[in-house]
Amino acid sequence: MLEIKNLHAGIEDKEILKGINLTINAGEIHAIMGPNGAGKSTLSAVIAGKDEYEVTKGDISLDGEDLLELDPAERAHKGVFLSFQYPVEIPGVSVTNFIKTSINETRKANGKEDMPAKEMLQKIREKSELLEIDRKFLSRSLNEGFSGGEKKRNEIFQMAMLEPKLAILDETDSGLDIDALRIVANGVNKLRSDDKAVLIITHYQRLLEYIKPDFVHVLYDGKIVKTGDASLALELEEKGYDWIKEEINA
């Protein structure tokens, strides 16, 4: 589904991603781990189309379609969703109005009519219950004054509403308490299906206990330096990154 080939990207003169190769098939869950500053968020932003970053080499395609040709909204319309490491506050736009606009713009781009108001309400109710989000919350300005954990939960609520083909979760687990982690993991697992894929960026193996990854990759200094199965996450949690750095330098 997602195919990244020899991706180089950076900002001004600084190269951050230095040749990433990654293939994610429909139905799979991948996790990316790696030390601070390795380029994990940059990779997710480049997939989502943030134009701050310049792609100097390589390709990204989604179901064979060149993503680099599309702007961020068009990528979203194709089913790319990014749960932000730091969700942005948007004062004056309520959660409900935002998600309605988001859903209907996506439908419009895909040649569909607006979602009927009743169906929208129903869906909002269902998904907010799934993520145990209080009604009052939905009429507040998006992310404004939300706690760290509330912001993350709200990201997953939006994901549940949009049902993206490819969900990228950038440190969605950071800042969540133990109960919230379980709730969010449940939300992600509900989305799992044969035609969807999830890419989880995390520092901790805890979330991966709830959402079992098929592959775990280590991103270090702009490259994927190691790939394994779920047990790799455990090993990293235990031993840290030094042994990997040694392997590379050897």
Partner 1 sequence: MELKEKLLSSYVAFENNVNINSDVHEIRTKALKDFEELGFPTKKLEAWKYTSLNSILKEDYSIFPNKEEAIEFAEVKKYFIHDIDSYKIVFIDGKYSSFLSDTTHDVIDVCLLSSAFTKSKHKAVIENYFNKVAKQDNMTALNTAFASEGAYIYIPKNVEVDKPIQIINFATGSDSATLLQPRNLIVVGENAHVQIIERHQSLSENAILTNVVTEIFAEKRSNVDYYKIQNDHSAASIVDNTFVAQEGDTICSVHTFSFGGKIVRNNLNFFQNGEHVDSILKGVTILDDKQHVDHHTLVHHIAPNCESHQDYKGIYDGRSTGVFNGKIIVNKEAQKTNAYQQNNNVLVSDKATVNAKPQLEIFADDVKCSHGCTIGQLDEQALFYMQQRGIPKKEARALLMYAFSNTVLESVRIPEVKSRINKLIAQKLNVNLGFDL
Ligand X SMILES: Nc1ncnc2c1ncn2[C@@H]1O[C@H](COP(=O)(O)OP(=O)(O)OP(=O)(O)O)[C@@H](O)[C@H]1O
Residues that bind partner 1 (CB under 8 A): 48-50, 71-73, 75-77, 81-82, 84, 87-93, 97-98, 100-106, 109, 114, 141, 158, 162
Rounded CA-CA distance 62/195 in Å is: 12
Q: Which residue is nearest to Mg ion (CB)?
A: 41
CB of 101 to ligand X, least distance (A): 27
CB of 136 to ligand X, least distance (A): 31
> Closer CB to partner 1, residue 18 or residue 77?
77
Judged by CB under 5 A, which of 16, 31, 33, 41 binds Mg ion? 41
Q: Do the Cβ atoms of 7 and 59 come closer than 8 Å?
A: yes
> Closer CB to Mg ion, residue 174 or residue 227?
174
> Closer CB to partner 1, residue 8 or residue 77?
77
Catalog residues that contact ligand X under the rule CB under 6 A. 11, 16, 34, 36-42, 52, 85
Q: Identify what 121 binds: partner 1, ligand X, Mg ion, none; CB under 5 to 8 Å per kind.
A: none
> Closer CB to Mg ion, residue 41 or residue 158?
41
> Closer CB to partner 1, residue 160 or residue 216?
160
Q: Identify what 93 binds: partner 1, ligand X, Mg ion, none; CB under 5 to 8 Å per kind.
A: partner 1
CB of 208 to ligand X, least distance (A): 16
Q: Identify what 37 binds: Mg ion, partner 1, ligand X, none; CB under 5 to 8 Å per kind.
A: ligand X
202 is an interface residue for Mg ion by CB under 5 A? no
**How would you write the chain as a 3-class SS string?**
CEEEEEEEEEECCEEEEEEEEEEECCCCEEEEECCCCCCHHHHHHHHHCCCCCEEEEEEEEECCEEHHHCCHHHHHHCCEEEECCCCCCEEEEEHHHHHHHHHHHHHHHCCCCCCCHHHHHHHHHHHHHHCCCCHHHHCCEECCCCCHHHHHHHHHHHHHHHCCCEEEEECCCCCCCHHHHHHHHHHHHHHCCCCCEEEEECCCCHHHHHCCCCEEEEEECCEEEEEECHHHHHHHHHHCCHHHHHHHHC
Binding site for Mg ion (CB under 5 A): 40-41, 85
